[in-house]
C-alpha cells in the first residue's frame, strides 16, 4: 500500500520510521547542517528496499556536482531501478531523474522532477532537487517559475513552507526581482531563523544592489544562526568578505579568508570554489595574496583532470593560473577538450560554450596577455549563465574582462563596460575606482577625479554598526549543492 509523507505525498514504504528519517535527512539537506547521507544510511540499513531513501541519497550526492560521488550514485540508482516494480509513480520519476543526470542530461533530470511536481507539487524532495539543478543550469526564470508553480499546492501550514519561501527568495533575486526577493527572504527567516538559504538570498540582494553596510549588518546580526554547525557557512563568509572587498577593507577580507573560508576538514569543493573566487578578485585588484595561491592549487591539483562541471573547472583554473601551475592548467584544458569531444550532454555543451573560453582567458590573464583575455571573454559575456552559478559568482568574469581591458589599454571598451556597471551598482566604491583608472587612461582628468571622489565619499559614508566575529565557525560534514551559490 505505502504510507504518505508528512506533506501527504504517497510513497511505497510501509515504514513510518523510514519516512521520519527521510524527512530528517531532507531537512538537514535544506538547512545544510549535519549529515543527511548518514541519516539515510541508517534508514536504508533498516529498510534496504526503501526506494525514496535510495533516491534521496543519490540526489544528495548528485547535487554536490563532484565526480567522486558518481559511483555511489550509480549504485543507489541501480538498486532503486531494481525495485521499480514496487516503486510508485512518484518514485519512478525520481529514479528517471537520477538516471538522466547520470547519463549527462541535467535538463532531462529537471523535466523528470517537474513531471512529479505536476501531480505532487508538495514533493519537497523533487522541488529541492529541481531548484538546485535549475541553479546549476543558470536557468533563473525557470528557477523562479518552478517555485511559483509548486507553491499552488502549499500554504502556510504545510510542513517546510518556510523553506520553499527561502528558495523562492533566492530565485526571485537571481531573476532580478530584488525587492520581492528580499521580502520573501526576510519572511522565510522570520519563520525559520536558521534557514541559511533564505539568509543567503537576502545577502545576494544586498550584494547585487551594492548595499555593503546593510549586507555586513545583515550577516553579522544573524551570525549565530549560520556560522556554527552549518555546511553553508563558508559560502556565507565569502559573501561577507565580498562586502568588505568592495570597501577596500582587505585586512578584514584576509581575516575572513583565513578563518572562515580557507580551513576545511575534508577538501569540500565549496571551500575551494569560494577561496579561488576571492583570491582571484584580490588578484584583479592588485592585492598581494602571498602564498595562498600555492596552497589552494595544491588542493585542486589532484582533481585537475576530473572535469565534471564547467563551473567548477573555472575555479580550478583560477587556482592553477594564480599559482603559475602550468602543468596542471594544461591538464585541465586537455581534460575539458576531451570531455567535449568524447562526451555528450549538458556539461559538454557548457564546457564548449563558456567553460573552455573562460579557462583560457584566466590563463591568458596570468600570462599578462590582456588582449587575449578581452577577445576570449567579450563574445561570451552574455552566455556565461549557461554554466550556472549566481550572478554574484559570475561577476568575476565581468571584473576580469574590465581589468584586462584597462591593462590592455582598451579604455573605450573599459569605459563602456563600467558605464553598464555603475548604472547597475552605483554605490560600489570598487567600480568607481575602476572608472577613475579608465578615465585616467582616456585622458579625462576631471572625470577621473570625479569618479575617484565618488568612490572616496562612498567609502567615507559606510560604517557597519556591528562587528562580526570570524571565530564563530566549525567544520561542516556535508554540503548538498556543494559548489553553489
Ligand atoms: Fe551566494
According to the 3-state scheme, what is the secondary structure of 381-426?
CCCHHHHCCCHHHHHHHHHHHHHHHHHCCCHHHHHHHHHHHHHHCC
CA of 267 to the centre of ligand 1 (A): 19
Name every residue whose Cβ is closer than 8 Å to that of residue 161 and which is 6 or more positions away in sequence.
154, 155, 191
**Residue carrying C-alpha cell 549563465:** 385
CA of 260 to the centre of ligand 1 (A): 15
Please indicate, yes or no, whether the overall pTM of this predicted structure exceeds 0.95: no
CA of 202 to the centre of ligand 1 (A): 10
CA distance 79 to 305: 29
Ion ligand 1, residues whose Cβ is below 5 A away = 390, 485
CA of 441 to the centre of ligand 1 (A): 34
Per-residue pLDDT of the chain (485 residues; tens, 9 = 90+): 799 999 999 999 999 999 999 999 999 999 999 999 999 999 999 999 999 999 999 999 999 888 889 999 999 999 999 999 999 999 999 999 999 999 999 999 999 999 999 999 999 999 999 999 999 999 999 999 999 999 999 999 999 999 999 999 999 999 999 999 999 999 999 999 999 999 999 999 999 999 999 999 999 999 999 998 898 999 999 999 999 999 999 999 999 999 999 865 555 455 689 999 999 999 999 999 989 999 999 988 988 888 888 999 999 999 999 999 999 999 999 999 999 999 889 999 999 999 999 999 999 999 999 999 999 999 999 999 998 899 999 999 999 999 999 999 999 999 999 999 999 999 999 999 999 999 999 999 999 999 999 999 999 987 666 555 555 554 443 334 443 45
Kindly state the cell numbers that stand for 120: 505532487
CA distance 206 to 180: 13
The HSE-up count of residue 71 (CA atoms within 13 Å, CB side) is 1
CA of 367 to the centre of ligand 1 (A): 29
CA of 204 to the centre of ligand 1 (A): 6
CB atoms near residue 85 (< 10 Å): 6
CA distance 448 to 444: 6
CA of 485 to the centre of ligand 1 (A): 4
Strand partners, 373: none
Strand partners, 4: 10
CA of 234 to the centre of ligand 1 (A): 10
Kindly state the cell numbers that stand for 74: 550509480
CB 32 within 8 A of CB 479: yes
Domain range summary for the chain, segments of one domain joined by +? 1-121+130-137, 409-461
CA of 44 to the centre of ligand 1 (A): 33
Considering the four listed CATH numbers 3.10.420, 1.10.10, 1.25.40, 2.30.110, the one that applies to the domain covering 1-121+130-137 is 1.25.40
Amino acid at each position: 500500500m505505502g504510507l504518505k509523507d508528512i506533506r501527504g505525498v504517497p510513497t511505497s514504504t510501509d515504514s513510518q520510521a523510514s519516512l521520519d528519517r527521510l524527512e530528517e535527512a531532507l531537512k538537514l539537506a535544506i538547512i545544510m547542517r549535519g549529515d543527511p547521507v548518514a541519516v539515510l544510511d541508517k534508514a536504508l540499513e533498516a529498510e534496504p528496499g526503501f526506494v525514496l531513501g535510495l533516491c534521496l541519497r543519490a540526489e544528495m550526492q548528485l547535487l554536490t556536482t563532484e565526480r567522486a560521488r558518481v559511483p555511489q550514485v550509480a549504485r543507489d540508482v541501480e538498486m532503486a531501478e531494481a525495485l521499480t516494480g514496487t516503486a510508485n509513480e512518484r518514485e519512478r520519476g525520481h529514479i528517471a531523474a537520477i538516471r538522466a543526470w547520470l547519463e549527462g542530461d541535467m535538463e532531462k533530470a529537471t523535466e523528470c522532477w517537474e513531471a512529479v511536481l505536476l501531480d505532487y507539487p508538495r514533493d519537497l524532495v523533487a522541488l529541492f532537487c529541481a531548484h538546485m539543478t535549475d541553479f546549476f543550469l543558470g536557468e533563473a526564470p525557470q528557477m523562479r517559475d518552478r517555485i511559483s508553480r509548486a507553491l499552488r499546492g502549499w500554504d502556510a501550514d504545510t510542513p517546510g513552507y518556510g523553506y520553499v519561501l527561502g528558495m523562492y527568495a533566492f530565485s526571485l533575486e537571481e531573476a532580478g526581482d530584488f525587492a520581492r526577493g528580499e521580502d520573501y527572504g526576510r519572511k522565510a527567516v522570520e519563520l525559520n531563523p536558521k534557514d541559511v538559504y533564505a539568509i543567503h538570498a537576502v545577502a545576494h540582494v544586498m550584494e547585487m544592489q551594492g548595499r555593503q553596510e546593510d549586507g555586513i549588518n545583515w550577516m553579522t546580526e544573524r551570525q549565530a544562526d549560520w556560522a556554527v554547525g552549518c555546511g553553508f557557512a563558508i559560502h556565507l563568509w565569502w559573501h561577507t568578505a565580498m562586502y568588505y572587498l568592495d570597501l577596500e577593507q582587505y585586512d578584514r577580507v584576509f581575516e575572513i579568508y583565513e578563518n572562515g573560508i580557507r580551513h576545511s576538514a575534508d577538501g569540500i569543493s565549496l571551500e575551494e570554489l569560494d577561496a579561488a573566487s576571492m583570491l582571484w578578485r584580490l588578484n584583479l585588484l592588485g592585492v598581494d595574496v602571498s602564498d595562498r595561491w600555492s596552497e589552494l592549487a595544491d588542493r585542486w591539483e589532484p582533481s585537475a583532470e576530473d572535469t565534471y562541471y564547467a563551473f567548477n573547472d573555472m575555479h580550478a583554473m583560477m587556482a592553477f593560473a594564480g599559482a603559475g601551475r602550468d602543468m596542471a592548467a594544461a591538464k585541465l584544458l586537455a581534460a575539458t577538450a576531451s570531455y567535449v569531444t568524447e562526451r555528450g550532454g549538458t556539461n559538454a555543451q557548457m564546457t564548449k560554450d563558456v567553460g573552455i573560453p573562460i579557462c583560457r582567458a584566466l590563463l591568458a590573464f596570468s600570462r599578462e596577455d590582456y588582449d587575449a583575455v578581452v577577445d576570449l571573454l567579450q563574445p561570451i559575456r552574455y552566455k556565461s549563465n549557461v554554466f550556472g552559478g549566481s550572478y554574484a559568482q559570475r561577476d568575476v568574469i565581468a571584473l576580469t574582462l574590465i581589468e584586462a581591458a584597462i591593462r590592455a589599454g582598451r579604455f573605450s571598451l573599459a569605459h563602456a563596460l563600467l558605464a553598464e556597471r555603475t548604472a547597475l551598482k552605483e554605490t560600489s566604491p570598487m567600480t568607481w575606482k575602476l572608472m577613475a583608472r579608465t578615465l585616467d587612461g582616456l585622458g579625462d582628468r576631471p572625470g577621473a577625479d570625479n569618479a575617484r571622489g565618488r568612490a572616496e565619499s562612498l567609502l567615507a559614508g559606510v560604517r557597519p554598526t556591528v562587528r562580526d566575529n570570524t571565530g564563530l565557525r566549525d567544520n561542516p560534514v556535508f554540503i548538498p549543492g556543494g559548489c553553489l551559490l
